[in-house]
Structure 1
Amino acid sequence: MHSTLTRSQLIRWHIAICAIFLASGLSISTWASRVPAIRESLGIENSGVGLLLLGMGVASIIGLSIAPAVMARIGARTGMLVALLLVGIGLMIIGFGADSLQFFAVALVGLALFGFGNGAVDVMMNVEGAALEKATGRTIMPLLHAFFSFGTVIGAGLGFVAVSLGIPVVAHSVAMGVVIMVVAFVSVANVPRAEIAMDAPAAEERAHWRERLAVSLQAWREPRTYTLGVIMLGMAFAEGSANDWLPSAVVYGHGAPEEAGPAVLAVFSVAMTVGRIAGGPVVDRLGRVLVLRVLAGTAAAGLLLFILAPYGPLVFVGAALWGLGASLGFPIGMSAAADDPAKAASRVAAAATIGYVAFLCGPPILGWIGDHIGLLNTLLIVVGLIVASGLFSGAAKPLAVENERAAEPARRD
């Protein structure tokens, strides 16, 4: 289907997928930047926040799990639209539940919708990103993930402004929900149908979606899926723990004022964005394995500095190194999963599922542990996972394409 696309259509497709990644990041940091205010409004402790995160995490796993079935049935294009609409609606309900109603159960329902939508769209937008890479013949996955980070930067910045100006959580969340839904409609309108993303042509009957689903699940029988999963698990934990717990760790762990939480999160997010913007050319020059090992060491060192240093400039430096080090693990894992175009959709979906399970479900566990040993001490667990990710980085070595018909020049390790 790609051979019929004009240059203008490819550019619009690229911009649309960048916008979808950005909207997902915007939603995550909008929630994360208001966690301290939501905690105070609902009158809960770390364990209560952990329960909210658990609800979001369980819903996210469900979204991740059914994403291949959704793609097989309606394709990634339509699936992304539905998922992002759920994200926007869920974000609004979170605001009403935590702020206007101050009712824990309503906030939990909002987070469940929010998590379900984000879980589903995360898989589908990565599959769509792999389709775009193959259509253009360029390494663009790090740049797409840079837009996710850019979204978190925007969300953290707007969160800082909202906290500083005393804007209620409900007004903030409703406004961001509307923005996300508008982005969804405009972006999906510019996404072409792609076979790799399981989109059926307009005139084709979708009678064989079960067969497409069976193909999408094949990757779970391949050992490489799980070795790549270790890389992505560690880096997803590094990113997810920051998005959900960094503001709280700054405010309640370091004893900083509330507005410092979104500020440090913004530093972390800016560092991730810089790493992802520059990541493509660096990976092409130095190879995936070396880059992953260096960045794992950077992330571990930065997180240790963030944990051990007293609140001040060193905490910001630690957050920056933490964000830079965690920047490329996920997109490199996605590119590695898509090495063989003939199997890219199933492998990307499987790898994304592993990464996002860690990204979304790890933080609730950290919240429960944090109630017993403190948030800063709990983050030492993440350091260990980052080190494990670095040790398994060899799994990202470019794969010899099994299908000669789809073979491409391998990148230098």
Structure 2
Amino acid sequence: MISNSKHRFFLSLFFFISGFSFATWASRIPTIKTTFGFNEAELGSILLAMPVGSLIGLPISGWLVSKYNSRVPLTVGYALNALSLALIGIAHNTFSLVLAICVFAFTTRIFNISVNTQTLTLQKRFEKKIIGSFHGFWSIGGIAGIALSTLLLTLNVTLAVHFSIVAILMLLVTAYSYQFLLKGDKSETGNKLILSKPDPYIFYLGIVVFLCAICEGGMFDWSGIYFQEVLNAPIFTYGYLIFMTFMATSRFLSDIIIVRFGMPKTYIMSAVFIVSGILLAIIFPTFWTAMIGFSLVGFGTASIIPMSYALAGASKKYSPGMAISIIATYSITGMLLGPPLIGYLAHAFNLRVSFVVFGLCGLMLVPITKMFFKHQRISG
């Protein structure tokens, strides 16, 4: 009999290593830009492969989680994700690069839906809130991934070697940890997508996640470019590193913050941090003001996804796996629009101007979350 604590540990390990692998990819985007000679608009178009692959994976992941126990698609998706990361590292032309990125995004979506389904199931076995801590480990993994990227950059390690090392680590973790994942979490009801008038409960949450995804995805893909081209920082990973560090800090504190202030106020505080951080970074484009600004954005975005997933899991219309899959559709749409939009705006104007988009999304979180909780009070 595997204890709940052991289940929690290995789920946390999966979150850690998934954050590690995603940060490995995102932190080397400037390297890919330089290697292939892309301008901002071309890079924005290449980055479209990420959300396109994720959108393809969404209906498949929802179906897999509803048909099997979530640990099956989690494990298979994660192993394939490791292989696709290695393929990105050895891509020698634009076509193979785009194809590898699509597969990477496709498999990321499958194991993300699966692992979040596992966390919602495990949460029911604990009295205190634990979901925020899982996402915190994702961010800690991201910090570790950026730290390794920074080290390997200073040592001039090639992209192929870097990505292959991480891929092997991912495969080893997957092979060993499978036995400790939850069994029998397949839901018997709410597994079908109902084509009708959008459920307001899910719709409002989806818009919240959509706005957050534009900010979060844009920061993942463009923070390194901002430090490289706007601030002329010799080590371009600093911006991404500080963003992820404060995101991790916020996620570990999020469960405590939510209990102390409640979700409505936590959403508002998140919006304030995002808007103030972005304004600081673009109005005063110096190294230290950008570091402070990016840290505020990381602190602000951190709680939104865990809170929204937890609320989605309480849907009366859908099972947790299907609800998360639907919410993730909005998230991926944000990822679809965000990074390319920043690239096109940066090419038309400049990168500083394009970052205003993040501030506007943070500002919109205030009225949308108020509408959600108003609907919840009326319908509840």
Q: What TM bracket, shorter-length normalisation?
A: over 0.9
The answer to whether the Cα contact below 8 Å between 1:336 and 1:397 also exists between their aligned partners in 2 is: no
Is the 2:147–2:241 Cα contact (8 Å) retained in structure 1?
A: yes
Q: Which residue of 1 aligns with 2:150?
A: 160
**What is the match of residue 40 of structure 1?**
34
Equivalent position to 1:391, from 348, 358, 367: 367
Task: Find the aligned partners of 1:398 and 1:144 in 2 and give their Cα distance.
Answer: 28
The separation in 1 between residues aligned to 2:344 and 2:80, in whole angstroms, is: 27
Of residues 270, 281, 293, the one that matches 1:306 is 281
* Deviation digits for residues 84-116 of structure 1 (CA, Å, limit 9, x no counterpart): 11211111011101xxxx322221121111111
1:2-23 Cα shifts (integer Å, max 9, x gaps): xxxx5x4211211122122222
The alignment partner of 2:286 has SS state of coil
Q: How does 1:260-409 map to 2 (within 5 A)?
A: 261-340=236-315, 343-359=319-335, 361-394=337-370, 395=372
Greater shift in the superposed pair: 263-272 or 43-52:
43-52
Aligned counterparts of 1:103 and 1:326: Cα–Cα separation in 2: 34
| Deviation at residue 360 of structure 1 after TM alignment | 5.1
User: Which residue pairs with 1:75 in the alignment?
Assistant: 69
- For the 8 Å contact 2:118–2:182, the answer to whether it is kept is no
SS of equivalent to 2:48: helix
Q: TM-score, normalised by structure 2?
A: 0.93
Aligned to 1:172: 162
The one-letter amino acid of 1:91's match is: L
- In the TM superposition, structure 1's runs of 4+ consecutive aligned residues that sit over 3 Å from their partners are 218-221, 340-343, 396-400
- For residues 141 and 223 of structure 1, the distance between their equivalents in structure 2, rounded to whole angstroms, comes to 24
> Whole-Å Cα distance in 2 between the matches of residues 126 and 396 of structure 1?
23
Return closer, same or farther for 1:388/1:382 CA change in 2, 3 Å cut-off.
Answer: same
Question: Do the aligned partners of 1:93 and 1:109 also contact (CA within 8 Å) in 2?
Answer: no
Query: 2:278–2:297: 8 Å Cα contact kept in structure 1?
Result: yes
Separation of aligned partners in 2, 1:132 and 1:361? 33
Aligned with 1:95 (options 57, 76, 89): 89
Q: State which drifts further: 139-148 or 369-378.
A: 369-378
Pair 1:236 & 2:213 matched: yes
What's the % identity of the aligned pairs? Answer: 22
User: Residue 311 of structure 2 aligns to which amino acid in structure 1?
Assistant: A
The code of the aligned residue for 1:59 comes to G
Q: Aligned match of 2:100 in 107, 110, 131?
A: 110
The match for 2:224 among 235, 244, 247 is: 247
Q: Which amino acid aligns with 1:254?
A: L
TM-score when normalising by structure 1: 0.85
CA RMSD of aligned residues (A): 2.3
Secondary structure of the corresponding residue to residue 38 of structure 2: coil
Q: CA deviation at 1:66?
A: 1.6
Query: How many residues are paired up?
Result: 377
Question: CA separation of 1:339/1:72 partners in 2, compared to 1, >3 Å: closer, same or farther?
Answer: closer
The structure-2 alpha-carbon separation of the partners of 1:336 and 1:360, relative to structure 1 and needing over 3 Å to count, comes to: same
Take 2:38 and 2:146, find their aligned partners in 1: how far apart are those partners?
Answer: 22
Structure 2 stretches lacking a partner, 5+ long: none
Question: Which residue is equivalent to 1:201?
Answer: none
Write out aligned runs for 1:215-234 (5 A). 215-218=191-194, 221-234=198-211
Q: Give 1:384 shift.
A: 0.7
* 1:216 CA displacement: 3.9
Within 5 Å, which residues of 2 pair with 1:144-159?
A: 144-159=134-149
CA distance in 1, matches of 2:89, 2:341: 24
Q: Separation in 1 of the partners of 2:81 and 2:321?
A: 23
The CA distance in 1 between the partners of 2:73 and 2:375, in whole Å, is 30
Residue 407 of structure 1: aligned partner: none
